[in-house]
Amino acid sequence: MRVELLYFDGCPNWTVAEERLHEALRSVDRDDVHVAKVRVGSAQEAEELGFIGSPTIRVDGVDPFASGGEQVGLACRVYSTPGGLGGSPTTDQLVHVLA
């Protein structure tokens, strides 16, 4: 399993996503999985990577939270969670996509 965390420095939510991602990986007994952090530094890089906001989590190259209508660019991303909109998927949501 390949897991990537794409982010840009101006968004504070990626650190929360990173913590939840590691917690979720422990929950599914995948401590062996390395999370590759990918810093997106420019609008050009965002275009090249198909970056739809920070944080973006990809599992084996697929963004399990993308709906298809997102815009590419350097922006903070909003996720629909059971508790309302949030800056990161919940740990339970991450467990669901990693299991």
For residue 80, the SS3 value is strand
pLDDT exceeds 90 at position 69: no
pLDDT exceeds 90 at position 98: yes
pLDDT tens-place string over residues 7-44: 999 899 999 999 999 999 999 999 899 999 999 999 99
What are 3's two structure tokens?
A: 């897991």
Q: What's the mean per-residue pLDDT of the chain?
A: 96
d(CA 5, CA 7): 7
Domain parsing of the chain, residue ranges: 3-98
pTM over 0.85: yes
For strands 84-86 and 79-81, give the pairing.
Answer: antiparallel
What are 70's two structure tokens?
A: 């997102």
